[in-house]
Copies of this chain bind each other. A is one copy, B any other.
Amino acid sequence: MEALKPPDTTRAQSRARWKQDPEGVRSNILAVALTEFAENGLSGARIDEIAAKTRTSKRMIYYYFGDKDGLYRKVLEEAYREVRAGEEELQLDHLEPAEALRRLAEFTFDHHRRNPNFIRLVMIENIHHGAYLAHSDLIRQLNETAISRVEAIYRKGVTSGIFRDDLTPLAIHWQISALSFFNVSNRMSFSLLFGEELYSEDGQERLRAQAAEMVVRYVTALKQALR
């Protein structure tokens, strides 16, 4: 009943000639795994599937990442790193606070929109009660940057009297995040239930402007509202 195995010559031939490329292999695996995890969740993603879409073999995944959890963890960090890279540019210091806040909200909105895979990973993390998120300094650091950006703007606005003074940077960040995140995370249910109009180019532009205006209006001191 033993299946015939191809003679050694064939085998040797098929595996002969290849170049070593540790970094390439590693990053190739990460890239594939990122989309697979984002697409299917932690338990939904299949190692075999990931391996198949890789230019190498399953063996390499375990060689570099140990096990599925290890791979997932690295994917999370990689995703954060990528997202972070796209966040550097923003320069708001020279703007007056209201305009700076509007820009920040719009930027966040766009930024989330540009990184749906990342959003999906965060969703997945939340479903898993953030078990992995909790242990990443990198990630904590990234979010603190976000907060300080809000804080700088908010301070300036309060000082100059155009912002109300009873809010916290954390709450403002929360609100901006909520509107930007939800836009991506719940896209499917919303468009399935209410049609695509909110997610056309026009619709998105409107939502973006509305979200930003909402935040700015909210933070603006009432006596300033009619200026």
* Chain A residues close to B by CB (< 8 Å): 40-44, 120, 122-127, 129-130, 133-134, 139-140, 143, 147, 167, 170-171, 174-175, 177-179, 181-183, 185-190, 192-194, 197-198, 206-207, 210-211, 213-215, 217-218, 222-223, 225-226
Q: How far is the CA of A188 from the CA of B222 in the complex (A)?
A: 33
Q: How far is the CA of A217 from the CA of B215 in the complex (A)?
A: 10
Q: How far is the CA of A44 from the CA of B198 in the complex (A)?
A: 31
Per assembly, the copies of the chain total 2
Q: How far is the CA of A217 from the CA of B130 in the complex (A)?
A: 34
Residues of B within 8 A of A189 (CB): 122, 125-126, 130, 133
Given contacts A179-B179, A182-B177, contact A125 B44 (CB under 8 A): no
Chain B nearest Cβ from A154, distance in angstroms: 14
Q: Beyond A41-B43, A179-B182, list 8 extra A-B contacts (CB 8 Å).
A: A41-B41, A122-B189, A123-B185, A126-B185, A126-B187, A147-B194, A175-B210, A178-B179
**A174 and B188 contact, CB distance less than 8 A:** no
Residues of B within 8 A of A140 (CB): 193
Give 25 A-B contacts (CB < 8 Å), ordered by A residue. A40-B43, A44-B44, A122-B189, A125-B189, A130-B188, A130-B192, A133-B189, A143-B194, A147-B194, A170-B198, A171-B198, A171-B206, A171-B207, A171-B210, A174-B190, A174-B207, A175-B211, A178-B181, A179-B179, A182-B182, A185-B185, A214-B215, A217-B217, A222-B225, A225-B225
**B188 and A133 contact, CB distance less than 8 A:** yes
